[in-house]
Structure 1
Protein backbone atom coordinates (compact mmCIF):
# COMPACT_ATOMS: atom_id res chain seq x y z
CA UNK A 1 0.00 0.00 0.00
CA UNK A 2 2.84 2.40 0.82
CA UNK A 3 4.36 1.80 -2.62
CA UNK A 4 1.01 2.24 -4.33
CA UNK A 5 0.91 -1.36 -5.53
CA UNK A 6 -2.32 -1.98 -3.59
CA UNK A 7 -5.38 0.23 -3.17
CA UNK A 8 -7.41 -0.13 0.02
CA UNK A 9 -11.02 0.63 0.91
CA UNK A 10 -13.11 0.73 4.07
CA UNK A 11 -16.58 -0.79 3.62
CA UNK A 12 -19.02 0.20 6.36
CA UNK A 13 -21.98 1.98 4.74
CA UNK A 14 -24.98 0.01 3.51
CA UNK A 15 -28.25 1.02 1.85
CA UNK A 16 -29.87 1.12 5.29
CA UNK A 17 -26.87 2.03 7.44
CA UNK A 18 -24.63 5.06 7.03
CA UNK A 19 -23.60 7.15 10.02
CA UNK A 20 -25.32 4.58 12.27
CA UNK A 21 -22.75 1.79 12.07
CA UNK A 22 -24.75 -0.39 14.47
CA UNK A 23 -27.46 -0.81 11.84
CA UNK A 24 -25.31 -2.79 9.38
CA UNK A 25 -26.76 -6.11 8.23
CA UNK A 26 -23.87 -7.76 6.36
CA UNK A 27 -23.19 -11.04 8.15
CA UNK A 28 -20.26 -13.43 8.42
CA UNK A 29 -20.94 -16.99 9.57
CA UNK A 30 -17.98 -19.17 10.50
CA UNK A 31 -17.63 -22.62 8.99
CA UNK A 32 -14.38 -24.25 10.03
CA UNK A 33 -11.50 -22.07 8.90
CA UNK A 34 -13.71 -19.92 6.63
CA UNK A 35 -16.26 -17.13 7.05
CA UNK A 36 -19.31 -17.20 4.77
CA UNK A 37 -20.25 -13.55 4.09
CA UNK A 38 -23.60 -12.29 2.81
CA UNK A 39 -24.66 -8.70 2.40
CA UNK A 40 -24.26 -5.45 0.49
CA UNK A 41 -22.26 -2.25 0.89
CA UNK A 42 -22.75 1.10 -0.82
CA UNK A 43 -21.01 4.49 -1.16
CA UNK A 44 -17.63 2.75 -0.85
CA UNK A 45 -14.71 4.98 -1.77
CA UNK A 46 -12.30 3.11 -4.09
CA UNK A 47 -14.84 0.30 -4.17
CA UNK A 48 -14.22 -0.34 -7.85
CA UNK A 49 -10.41 -0.26 -7.71
CA UNK A 50 -9.57 -1.56 -4.23
CA UNK A 51 -7.38 -4.66 -3.87
CA UNK A 52 -7.90 -4.87 -0.09
CA UNK A 53 -11.24 -4.07 1.55
CA UNK A 54 -11.71 -3.71 5.28
CA UNK A 55 -15.27 -4.98 5.67
CA UNK A 56 -17.53 -4.35 8.66
CA UNK A 57 -19.69 -7.40 9.36
CA UNK A 58 -21.80 -8.96 12.08
CA UNK A 59 -20.22 -12.16 13.40
CA UNK A 60 -22.72 -12.46 16.26
CA UNK A 61 -26.35 -11.75 15.37
CA UNK A 62 -27.79 -12.54 18.80
CA UNK A 63 -30.17 -10.03 20.35
CA UNK A 64 -27.85 -9.46 23.29
CA UNK A 65 -24.67 -9.11 21.22
CA UNK A 66 -24.93 -5.34 20.74
CA UNK A 67 -21.68 -3.72 19.61
CA UNK A 68 -19.81 -6.90 20.58
CA UNK A 69 -21.36 -8.57 17.53
CA UNK A 70 -19.24 -6.60 15.04
CA UNK A 71 -15.98 -7.66 13.46
CA UNK A 72 -13.71 -6.48 10.63
CA UNK A 73 -12.66 -8.80 7.83
CA UNK A 74 -9.92 -8.00 5.33
CA UNK A 75 -11.19 -8.95 1.88
CA UNK A 76 -8.64 -9.77 -0.81
CA UNK A 77 -10.70 -8.73 -3.81
CA UNK A 78 -9.04 -10.96 -6.38
CA UNK A 79 -9.11 -14.06 -4.19
CA UNK A 80 -12.62 -14.04 -2.69
CA UNK A 81 -15.23 -16.27 -4.34
CA UNK A 82 -18.74 -14.84 -4.02
CA UNK A 83 -17.59 -11.22 -4.00
CA UNK A 84 -18.47 -8.87 -6.84
CA UNK A 85 -18.39 -5.15 -7.44
CA UNK A 86 -21.50 -3.24 -8.46
CA UNK A 87 -21.81 -0.14 -10.59
CA UNK A 88 -19.73 2.98 -10.21
CA UNK A 89 -21.98 5.54 -8.57
CA UNK A 90 -22.51 8.87 -10.34
CA UNK A 91 -21.69 11.51 -7.74
CA UNK A 92 -22.25 15.26 -7.72
CA UNK A 93 -18.55 15.86 -7.20
CA UNK A 94 -15.21 14.05 -6.78
CA UNK A 95 -15.52 12.67 -10.28
CA UNK A 96 -11.97 11.34 -10.38
CA UNK A 97 -12.59 9.11 -7.35
CA UNK A 98 -14.51 5.89 -7.89
CA UNK A 99 -17.35 5.12 -5.48
CA UNK A 100 -19.14 1.82 -5.79
CA UNK A 101 -21.54 -0.79 -4.48
CA UNK A 102 -20.16 -4.11 -3.23
CA UNK A 103 -22.00 -7.44 -3.05
CA UNK A 104 -21.27 -10.59 -1.05
CA UNK A 105 -23.17 -13.78 -1.82
CA UNK A 106 -21.82 -16.71 0.18
CA UNK A 107 -18.41 -15.10 -0.20
CA UNK A 108 -15.69 -17.23 1.37
CA UNK A 109 -13.10 -15.42 3.49
CA UNK A 110 -10.33 -17.17 5.48
CA UNK A 111 -10.63 -16.88 9.25
CA UNK A 112 -7.01 -15.66 9.18
CA UNK A 113 -8.35 -12.45 7.56
CA UNK A 114 -10.18 -11.45 10.75
CA UNK A 115 -8.59 -8.13 11.71
CA UNK A 116 -7.06 -8.43 15.17
CA UNK A 117 -7.69 -12.17 15.34
CA UNK A 118 -10.59 -11.93 17.81
CA UNK A 119 -14.28 -11.64 16.95
CA UNK A 120 -16.38 -8.85 18.41
CA UNK A 121 -13.75 -6.09 18.36
CA UNK A 122 -14.79 -4.44 15.10
CA UNK A 123 -16.91 -1.66 16.55
CA UNK A 124 -14.18 -0.66 18.99
CA UNK A 125 -11.51 -0.83 16.27
CA UNK A 126 -13.57 1.56 14.17
CA UNK A 127 -14.27 3.92 17.06
CA UNK A 128 -10.58 4.12 17.93
CA UNK A 129 -9.85 5.73 14.56
CA UNK A 130 -12.93 7.91 14.07
CA UNK A 131 -11.52 10.89 15.97
CA UNK A 132 -8.47 10.89 13.68
CA UNK A 133 -10.67 10.56 10.59
CA UNK A 134 -12.82 13.49 11.67
CA UNK A 135 -9.82 15.71 12.27
CA UNK A 136 -8.57 14.76 8.79
CA UNK A 137 -11.92 15.90 7.39
CA UNK A 138 -11.70 19.14 9.37
CA UNK A 139 -8.22 19.75 7.95
CA UNK A 140 -9.47 19.15 4.41
CA UNK A 141 -12.38 21.53 4.99
CA UNK A 142 -10.06 24.24 6.29
CA UNK A 143 -7.64 23.88 3.38
CA UNK A 144 -10.44 23.92 0.81
CA UNK A 145 -12.02 26.99 2.42
CA UNK A 146 -8.77 28.91 2.43
CA UNK A 147 -8.10 27.96 -1.18
CA UNK A 148 -11.60 29.10 -2.18
CA UNK A 149 -11.12 32.41 -0.38
CA UNK A 150 -7.77 33.04 -2.10
CA UNK A 151 -9.29 32.15 -5.48
CA UNK A 152 -12.19 34.52 -4.91
CA UNK A 153 -10.08 37.44 -3.71
CA UNK A 154 -8.01 37.20 -6.88
CA UNK A 155 -11.18 37.04 -9.01
CA UNK A 156 -12.98 40.04 -7.47
CA UNK A 157 -9.86 42.17 -7.84
CA UNK A 158 -9.93 41.81 -11.62
CA UNK A 159 -13.68 41.45 -12.30
CA UNK A 160 -15.48 44.72 -13.11
CA UNK A 161 -19.18 45.46 -12.54
CA UNK A 162 -20.81 48.81 -13.35
CA UNK A 163 -17.45 50.30 -14.16
CA UNK A 164 -15.55 49.36 -11.02
CA UNK A 165 -13.87 46.33 -9.54
CA UNK A 166 -16.03 43.91 -7.63
CA UNK A 167 -13.68 44.19 -4.64
CA UNK A 168 -14.57 47.88 -4.36
CA UNK A 169 -18.23 47.16 -3.51
CA UNK A 170 -18.98 47.18 0.21
CA UNK A 171 -20.97 43.94 0.09
CA UNK A 172 -18.04 42.09 -1.48
CA UNK A 173 -15.65 43.36 1.17
CA UNK A 174 -18.02 42.43 4.01
CA UNK A 175 -18.55 38.88 2.68
CA UNK A 176 -14.82 38.33 2.28
CA UNK A 177 -14.04 39.85 5.68
CA UNK A 178 -16.50 37.45 7.30
CA UNK A 179 -14.96 34.52 5.44
CA UNK A 180 -11.43 35.49 6.45
CA UNK A 181 -12.47 35.76 10.09
CA UNK A 182 -14.28 32.41 10.02
CA UNK A 183 -11.20 30.77 8.56
CA UNK A 184 -8.90 32.29 11.17
CA UNK A 185 -11.13 31.01 13.98
CA UNK A 186 -11.40 27.58 12.36
CA UNK A 187 -7.65 27.29 11.83
CA UNK A 188 -6.98 28.07 15.50
CA UNK A 189 -9.39 25.38 16.65
CA UNK A 190 -8.21 22.75 14.15
CA UNK A 191 -4.55 23.32 15.03
CA UNK A 192 -5.34 22.79 18.72
CA UNK A 193 -7.09 19.55 17.79
CA UNK A 194 -4.07 18.42 15.76
CA UNK A 195 -1.79 19.07 18.74
CA UNK A 196 -4.10 16.99 20.95
CA UNK A 197 -4.26 14.21 18.36
CA UNK A 198 -0.46 14.01 18.26
CA UNK A 199 -0.35 14.02 22.07
CA UNK A 200 -2.96 11.27 22.27
CA UNK A 201 -5.43 13.40 24.24
CA UNK A 202 -8.04 14.14 21.57
CA UNK A 203 -11.49 12.96 22.63
CA UNK A 204 -14.40 12.05 20.39
CA UNK A 205 -16.50 15.01 21.46
CA UNK A 206 -13.88 17.57 20.41
CA UNK A 207 -13.22 15.75 17.14
CA UNK A 208 -16.95 15.84 16.40
CA UNK A 209 -16.99 19.58 17.11
CA UNK A 210 -14.07 20.16 14.75
CA UNK A 211 -15.59 18.08 11.95
CA UNK A 212 -18.98 19.77 12.25
CA UNK A 213 -17.67 23.31 12.59
CA UNK A 214 -15.01 23.18 9.88
CA UNK A 215 -17.25 21.56 7.26
CA UNK A 216 -20.19 23.85 7.98
CA UNK A 217 -17.94 26.88 7.59
CA UNK A 218 -16.39 25.38 4.47
CA UNK A 219 -19.76 25.02 2.74
CA UNK A 220 -20.85 28.47 3.89
CA UNK A 221 -17.66 30.17 2.71
CA UNK A 222 -17.48 28.39 -0.64
CA UNK A 223 -21.15 29.02 -1.39
CA UNK A 224 -20.56 32.75 -0.82
CA UNK A 225 -17.47 32.57 -3.05
CA UNK A 226 -19.53 30.97 -5.82
CA UNK A 227 -22.04 33.82 -5.47
CA UNK A 228 -19.30 36.42 -5.86
CA UNK A 229 -18.21 34.73 -9.08
CA UNK A 230 -21.70 35.15 -10.51
CA UNK A 231 -22.57 32.92 -13.46
CA UNK A 232 -18.93 31.91 -13.88
CA UNK A 233 -19.04 30.39 -10.40
CA UNK A 234 -21.50 27.80 -11.67
CA UNK A 235 -19.26 26.71 -14.53
CA UNK A 236 -17.00 23.71 -13.92
CA UNK A 237 -14.31 25.44 -15.99
CA UNK A 238 -13.71 27.56 -12.89
CA UNK A 239 -11.97 26.07 -9.82
CA UNK A 240 -14.54 27.56 -7.45
CA UNK A 241 -17.32 25.48 -9.01
CA UNK A 242 -15.32 22.28 -8.57
CA UNK A 243 -14.53 23.21 -4.98
CA UNK A 244 -18.24 23.70 -4.35
CA UNK A 245 -19.29 20.36 -5.87
CA UNK A 246 -16.37 18.36 -4.48
CA UNK A 247 -16.61 19.84 -1.00
CA UNK A 248 -20.32 19.32 -0.32
CA UNK A 249 -19.78 15.70 0.76
CA UNK A 250 -17.71 16.87 3.73
CA UNK A 251 -20.84 17.49 5.82
CA UNK A 252 -21.99 13.92 5.17
CA UNK A 253 -19.08 11.47 5.24
CA UNK A 254 -17.19 10.56 8.38
CA UNK A 255 -20.54 10.78 10.17
CA UNK A 256 -23.10 13.37 9.12
CA UNK A 257 -23.00 16.71 10.90
CA UNK A 258 -26.37 15.99 12.48
CA UNK A 259 -24.80 12.91 14.10
CA UNK A 260 -21.82 15.02 15.20
CA UNK A 261 -24.21 17.34 17.05
CA UNK A 262 -25.90 14.37 18.68
CA UNK A 263 -22.53 13.06 19.88
CA UNK A 264 -21.69 16.47 21.33
CA UNK A 265 -25.11 16.80 22.96
CA UNK A 266 -24.67 13.46 24.77
CA UNK A 267 -21.85 15.00 26.81
CA UNK A 268 -23.93 17.91 28.13
Structure 2
Protein backbone atom coordinates (compact mmCIF):
# COMPACT_ATOMS: atom_id res chain seq x y z
CA UNK A 1 0.00 0.00 0.00
CA UNK A 2 1.30 3.50 -0.86
CA UNK A 3 2.36 5.80 1.98
CA UNK A 4 0.40 8.93 0.87
CA UNK A 5 -2.82 9.79 -1.01
CA UNK A 6 -0.72 11.58 -3.64
CA UNK A 7 1.27 8.43 -4.24
CA UNK A 8 -1.97 6.43 -4.56
CA UNK A 9 -3.31 8.92 -7.15
CA UNK A 10 -0.09 8.81 -9.13
CA UNK A 11 -0.09 5.01 -9.14
CA UNK A 12 -3.73 4.89 -10.27
CA UNK A 13 -3.07 7.32 -13.12
CA UNK A 14 -0.07 5.25 -14.24
CA UNK A 15 -2.22 2.11 -14.33
CA UNK A 16 -4.90 3.88 -16.41
CA UNK A 17 -2.30 5.13 -18.87
CA UNK A 18 -0.79 1.66 -19.23
CA UNK A 19 -4.22 0.10 -19.82
CA UNK A 20 -5.43 2.84 -22.21
CA UNK A 21 -8.56 3.28 -20.06
CA UNK A 22 -9.04 6.87 -21.19
CA UNK A 23 -8.79 6.00 -24.88
CA UNK A 24 -12.52 5.22 -24.92
CA UNK A 25 -13.47 8.52 -23.29
CA UNK A 26 -13.57 11.12 -26.11
CA UNK A 27 -12.96 14.70 -25.08
CA UNK A 28 -14.96 16.17 -27.95
CA UNK A 29 -17.63 15.39 -30.55
CA UNK A 30 -17.77 11.83 -31.86
CA UNK A 31 -16.62 10.97 -35.36
CA UNK A 32 -20.24 10.56 -36.47
CA UNK A 33 -21.06 14.00 -35.10
CA UNK A 34 -18.12 15.54 -36.89
CA UNK A 35 -19.03 13.79 -40.14
CA UNK A 36 -22.59 15.12 -39.91
CA UNK A 37 -21.17 18.62 -39.38
CA UNK A 38 -19.05 18.21 -42.52
CA UNK A 39 -22.09 17.00 -44.47
CA UNK A 40 -24.10 20.03 -43.35
CA UNK A 41 -21.28 22.51 -43.90
CA UNK A 42 -20.46 21.25 -47.39
CA UNK A 43 -24.16 21.26 -48.23
CA UNK A 44 -24.32 24.96 -47.34
CA UNK A 45 -21.16 25.70 -49.33
CA UNK A 46 -22.41 24.03 -52.51
CA UNK A 47 -26.00 25.21 -52.14
CA UNK A 48 -25.08 28.90 -51.83
CA UNK A 49 -21.99 28.93 -54.05
CA UNK A 50 -23.13 26.74 -56.92
CA UNK A 51 -26.69 28.03 -56.63
CA UNK A 52 -25.44 31.56 -57.20
CA UNK A 53 -23.24 30.41 -60.07
CA UNK A 54 -26.16 28.68 -61.78
CA UNK A 55 -28.13 31.92 -61.75
CA UNK A 56 -25.33 34.27 -62.80
CA UNK A 57 -27.40 35.52 -65.71
CA UNK A 58 -30.24 36.52 -63.38
CA UNK A 59 -30.13 39.78 -61.48
CA UNK A 60 -26.78 40.81 -62.98
CA UNK A 61 -24.88 38.34 -60.84
CA UNK A 62 -21.22 38.34 -61.82
CA UNK A 63 -18.07 36.53 -60.77
CA UNK A 64 -17.74 38.83 -57.74
CA UNK A 65 -21.19 37.76 -56.57
CA UNK A 66 -20.31 34.09 -56.97
CA UNK A 67 -17.07 34.57 -55.08
CA UNK A 68 -18.90 36.37 -52.29
CA UNK A 69 -21.48 33.57 -52.12
CA UNK A 70 -18.79 30.90 -51.68
CA UNK A 71 -16.92 33.02 -49.15
CA UNK A 72 -20.03 33.80 -47.14
CA UNK A 73 -21.01 30.13 -47.15
CA UNK A 74 -17.63 29.26 -45.63
CA UNK A 75 -18.09 31.90 -42.93
CA UNK A 76 -21.56 30.58 -42.11
CA UNK A 77 -20.38 26.97 -41.97
CA UNK A 78 -17.24 27.79 -39.99
CA UNK A 79 -19.19 29.73 -37.37
CA UNK A 80 -21.88 27.04 -37.16
CA UNK A 81 -19.75 23.90 -37.32
CA UNK A 82 -16.13 24.93 -36.79
CA UNK A 83 -16.19 23.98 -33.12
CA UNK A 84 -17.56 20.54 -34.00
CA UNK A 85 -15.56 19.35 -36.99
CA UNK A 86 -13.21 22.20 -37.87
CA UNK A 87 -15.38 22.93 -40.92
CA UNK A 88 -12.98 21.64 -43.55
CA UNK A 89 -15.75 21.35 -46.18
CA UNK A 90 -13.17 20.29 -48.75
CA UNK A 91 -11.24 17.02 -49.27
CA UNK A 92 -8.14 18.99 -50.29
CA UNK A 93 -8.24 20.98 -47.06
CA UNK A 94 -8.61 17.80 -45.01
CA UNK A 95 -5.61 16.22 -46.74
CA UNK A 96 -3.54 19.38 -46.40
CA UNK A 97 -4.32 19.74 -42.69
CA UNK A 98 -3.53 16.06 -42.15
CA UNK A 99 -0.17 16.27 -43.92
CA UNK A 100 0.61 19.39 -41.91
CA UNK A 101 0.35 17.28 -38.75
CA UNK A 102 -2.77 19.04 -37.55
CA UNK A 103 -5.35 16.30 -38.12
CA UNK A 104 -5.41 12.56 -37.33
CA UNK A 105 -4.96 10.33 -40.35
CA UNK A 106 -7.67 7.89 -39.27
CA UNK A 107 -10.33 10.57 -39.85
CA UNK A 108 -9.28 11.63 -43.37
CA UNK A 109 -11.40 9.15 -45.34
CA UNK A 110 -14.56 9.63 -43.20
CA UNK A 111 -14.26 13.41 -43.58
CA UNK A 112 -13.85 13.18 -47.36
CA UNK A 113 -16.82 10.83 -47.60
CA UNK A 114 -18.95 13.23 -45.55
CA UNK A 115 -17.92 16.21 -47.71
CA UNK A 116 -18.75 14.43 -50.95
CA UNK A 117 -22.13 13.36 -49.58
CA UNK A 118 -22.93 16.89 -48.43
CA UNK A 119 -21.99 18.27 -51.82
CA UNK A 120 -24.10 15.70 -53.64
CA UNK A 121 -27.13 16.46 -51.48
CA UNK A 122 -26.84 20.14 -52.36
CA UNK A 123 -26.15 19.38 -56.02
CA UNK A 124 -29.21 17.18 -56.21
CA UNK A 125 -31.39 19.80 -54.54
CA UNK A 126 -30.23 22.49 -56.96
CA UNK A 127 -30.83 20.17 -59.92
CA UNK A 128 -34.41 19.66 -58.77
CA UNK A 129 -34.88 23.42 -58.35
CA UNK A 130 -33.57 24.14 -61.85
CA UNK A 131 -35.56 21.29 -63.41
CA UNK A 132 -38.80 22.55 -61.86
CA UNK A 133 -38.68 25.85 -63.75
CA UNK A 134 -41.35 25.88 -66.49
CA UNK A 135 -38.98 27.26 -69.14
CA UNK A 136 -36.16 24.74 -68.54
CA UNK A 137 -36.06 21.88 -71.04
CA UNK A 138 -32.54 20.59 -70.28
CA UNK A 139 -31.38 21.10 -66.70
CA UNK A 140 -28.11 19.26 -67.40
CA UNK A 141 -27.14 21.85 -69.98
CA UNK A 142 -27.71 24.68 -67.52
CA UNK A 143 -25.86 22.77 -64.80
CA UNK A 144 -22.90 22.34 -67.12
CA UNK A 145 -22.43 26.08 -67.02
CA UNK A 146 -21.44 25.80 -63.34
CA UNK A 147 -19.28 22.70 -63.75
CA UNK A 148 -15.49 22.76 -63.61
CA UNK A 149 -13.70 22.24 -66.91
CA UNK A 150 -10.77 22.92 -69.19
CA UNK A 151 -10.32 23.31 -72.93
CA UNK A 152 -13.67 23.84 -74.64
CA UNK A 153 -15.32 23.77 -71.22
CA UNK A 154 -13.17 26.45 -69.65
CA UNK A 155 -15.05 29.79 -69.51
CA UNK A 156 -12.15 31.42 -71.37
CA UNK A 157 -10.87 28.41 -73.30
CA UNK A 158 -7.79 27.64 -71.17
CA UNK A 159 -6.23 24.21 -71.63
CA UNK A 160 -5.54 21.36 -69.23
CA UNK A 161 -2.07 22.52 -68.17
CA UNK A 162 -3.17 25.99 -67.17
CA UNK A 163 -6.29 24.61 -65.51
CA UNK A 164 -4.27 22.18 -63.39
CA UNK A 165 -1.81 24.91 -62.39
CA UNK A 166 -4.51 27.42 -61.43
CA UNK A 167 -6.45 24.87 -59.39
CA UNK A 168 -3.30 23.66 -57.60
CA UNK A 169 -1.98 27.13 -56.80
CA UNK A 170 -5.34 28.53 -55.71
CA UNK A 171 -6.03 25.54 -53.46
CA UNK A 172 -2.52 25.77 -52.03
CA UNK A 173 -3.15 29.41 -51.08
CA UNK A 174 -6.48 28.46 -49.51
CA UNK A 175 -4.89 25.71 -47.41
CA UNK A 176 -2.06 28.03 -46.38
CA UNK A 177 -4.57 30.53 -45.01
CA UNK A 178 -6.55 27.74 -43.30
CA UNK A 179 -3.42 26.51 -41.53
CA UNK A 180 -2.30 30.00 -40.56
CA UNK A 181 -5.73 31.20 -39.43
CA UNK A 182 -6.33 28.10 -37.28
CA UNK A 183 -2.86 28.02 -35.77
CA UNK A 184 -2.62 27.88 -31.98
CA UNK A 185 -1.16 31.39 -31.93
CA UNK A 186 -3.82 32.89 -34.22
CA UNK A 187 -7.00 34.64 -33.13
CA UNK A 188 -9.69 31.98 -33.49
CA UNK A 189 -12.45 34.55 -33.93
CA UNK A 190 -10.81 35.86 -37.10
CA UNK A 191 -10.40 32.49 -38.80
CA UNK A 192 -13.88 32.14 -40.44
CA UNK A 193 -13.64 35.59 -41.98
CA UNK A 194 -10.03 35.21 -43.12
CA UNK A 195 -10.75 31.87 -44.77
CA UNK A 196 -14.07 33.00 -46.25
CA UNK A 197 -12.64 36.18 -47.79
CA UNK A 198 -9.65 34.24 -49.12
CA UNK A 199 -11.93 31.72 -50.82
CA UNK A 200 -14.03 34.56 -52.27
CA UNK A 201 -10.97 36.19 -53.85
CA UNK A 202 -9.62 32.87 -55.16
CA UNK A 203 -12.97 31.93 -56.72
CA UNK A 204 -13.16 35.27 -58.53
CA UNK A 205 -9.60 34.73 -59.77
CA UNK A 206 -10.12 31.14 -60.92
CA UNK A 207 -13.54 31.37 -62.57
CA UNK A 208 -12.20 32.53 -65.97
CA UNK A 209 -9.78 29.59 -66.05
CA UNK A 210 -11.78 26.58 -64.84
CA UNK A 211 -15.00 27.90 -63.23
CA UNK A 212 -13.18 27.72 -59.88
CA UNK A 213 -13.25 24.26 -58.38
CA UNK A 214 -10.59 24.36 -55.62
CA UNK A 215 -12.64 21.66 -53.95
CA UNK A 216 -13.11 18.07 -55.21
CA UNK A 217 -16.43 17.74 -53.39
CA UNK A 218 -17.78 20.85 -55.09
CA UNK A 219 -16.50 19.67 -58.48
CA UNK A 220 -18.14 16.26 -58.00
CA UNK A 221 -21.43 17.84 -56.90
CA UNK A 222 -21.84 19.59 -60.25
CA UNK A 223 -20.21 16.98 -62.52
CA UNK A 224 -22.72 14.27 -61.65
CA UNK A 225 -25.68 16.43 -62.70
CA UNK A 226 -24.10 17.93 -65.84
CA UNK A 227 -23.48 16.71 -69.37
CA UNK A 228 -21.12 13.75 -69.67
CA UNK A 229 -18.00 15.84 -70.40
CA UNK A 230 -17.93 17.04 -66.78
CA UNK A 231 -17.40 13.52 -65.46
CA UNK A 232 -14.64 12.81 -67.97
CA UNK A 233 -12.75 15.89 -66.77
CA UNK A 234 -13.51 15.45 -63.08
CA UNK A 235 -10.24 13.61 -62.35
CA UNK A 236 -8.27 16.81 -62.98
CA UNK A 237 -10.21 18.66 -60.32
CA UNK A 238 -9.49 16.02 -57.74
CA UNK A 239 -5.80 15.73 -58.61
CA UNK A 240 -4.85 19.42 -58.87
CA UNK A 241 -6.42 20.67 -55.61
CA UNK A 242 -5.07 17.71 -53.64
CA UNK A 243 -1.56 18.19 -55.04
CA UNK A 244 -1.61 21.88 -54.18
CA UNK A 245 -2.93 21.17 -50.68
CA UNK A 246 -0.42 18.37 -50.11
CA UNK A 247 2.55 20.56 -51.01
CA UNK A 248 1.51 23.27 -48.59
CA UNK A 249 0.70 20.72 -45.89
CA UNK A 250 4.11 19.09 -46.13
CA UNK A 251 5.91 22.44 -46.17
CA UNK A 252 3.93 23.55 -43.15
CA UNK A 253 4.84 20.34 -41.34
CA UNK A 254 8.51 20.96 -42.10
CA UNK A 255 8.57 24.54 -40.85
CA UNK A 256 5.66 24.91 -38.39
CA UNK A 257 6.15 25.07 -34.60
CA UNK A 258 6.79 21.56 -33.30
CA UNK A 259 4.06 21.84 -30.66
CA UNK A 260 1.24 21.82 -33.23
CA UNK A 261 2.43 18.55 -34.73
CA UNK A 262 3.24 16.83 -31.46
CA UNK A 263 -0.34 17.30 -30.19
CA UNK A 264 -1.85 15.23 -33.00
CA UNK A 265 0.87 12.59 -32.83
CA UNK A 266 0.37 12.21 -29.06
CA UNK A 267 -3.42 11.85 -29.45
CA UNK A 268 -3.02 9.18 -32.11
CA UNK A 269 -0.64 7.17 -29.91
CA UNK A 270 -2.93 7.34 -26.87
CA UNK A 271 -6.11 6.46 -28.79
CA UNK A 272 -4.58 3.69 -30.93
Q: TM-score range by the shorter chain?
A: under 0.3
Higher RCO, 1 or 2 (CA under 8 Å, sep at least 6)? 2
Structure with greater strand share of residues: 1
Structure with greater helix share of residues: 2
TM normalised by structure 1 equals 0.24
TM normalised by structure 2 equals 0.24
